[in-house]
Amino acid sequence: MTRGFVMSEINQNRNLNNQYSLLVKVIHWLMAFGFVLMWSSGYLMHGFFAEDSAGEEFIFAMHISTGVLLVMLLIARIIARVLIRPPALPAGFTALDKRMAHAGHLALYILPAVIMTLGWAETDFGGHGVTLFGIPMPKLFPTMDTWMGIKLEDFTSENHEILAWTFLAVVVLHVAAAVKHRMVGHDVLYRMGIGKK
């Protein structure tokens, strides 16, 4: 009963100003910041430090810890999406706009989930172990070198990187679409807490 009342109040408040709930906005911007750190640290690891150097190991540890936090935030975001209905899309959206928006948002859930699963698998397969700022996390994948002739650590590492940059491209398109819609009078940025309606 109490939960139903709280959810009703959250949805009612959201509908009054056509914005996402405060919880969803906080998760959204924390994840956005986290992914910027992930792309930056991934680029630094491969482009500026020798393999297995002290600098590379430090950034790798931060990269993994940030990834674990993002896994937790993604789970929280999915739960929030199930429990709290998002605001309706702007009235000016065409049918194509709506299809593109739904496809884009679906990609923003699926790609991070796959990327972080690959990153976790890569770390476990290589025997490094996933940690959160030094705290060991559950070992989800066995330490293995090869499976059916595939070098597992290399395979997961390569696909983790490819999909990470693919995800960056999707995010750039997501931001560009939001700015474009804002320019033509649709309040999509306002829905996530930026600017005025």
The pLDDT tens digits for 26-46 are 999 999 999 999 999 988 887
- Give the three-state DSSP class for 150: strand
Note the pLDDT tens digit of each residue in 8-26.
444 444 444 678 889 999 9
Q: Is residue 160 situated within a structural domain?
A: yes
Q: 45-49, 85-89, 96-100, 175-179: which has the minimum mean pLDDT?
A: 45-49
| CATH code (residue 102) | 1.20.950.20
Q: Is residue 16 situated within a structural domain?
A: yes
- The predicted pLDDT at position 14 comes to 46
What element of type H or E holds 124? helix 95-125
Q: Is residue 148 situated within a structural domain?
A: yes
Q: Is residue 40 situated within a structural domain?
A: yes
Q: Is residue 181 situated within a structural domain?
A: yes
Q: Is residue 187 situated within a structural domain?
A: yes
The parent domain of residue 95 ranges over 2-191
CA torsion through residues 43, 117, 155, 135, sign: positive
The two tokens of residue 163 are: 């999909």
Q: Is residue 196 situated within a structural domain?
A: no
Amino acid of residue 137 = M
Note the pLDDT tens digit of each residue in 51-91.
767 878 899 999 999 999 999 999 999 999 999 988 877 77
Cβ atoms of 56 and 45 closer than 8 Å: yes
Q: Is residue 197 situated within a structural domain?
A: no
How many domains are there within the chain?
Answer: 1
pTM: 0.83
- The predicted pLDDT at position 5 comes to 43
- The predicted pLDDT at position 166 comes to 96
- The predicted pLDDT at position 55 comes to 77
More confident residue, 167 or 176: 167
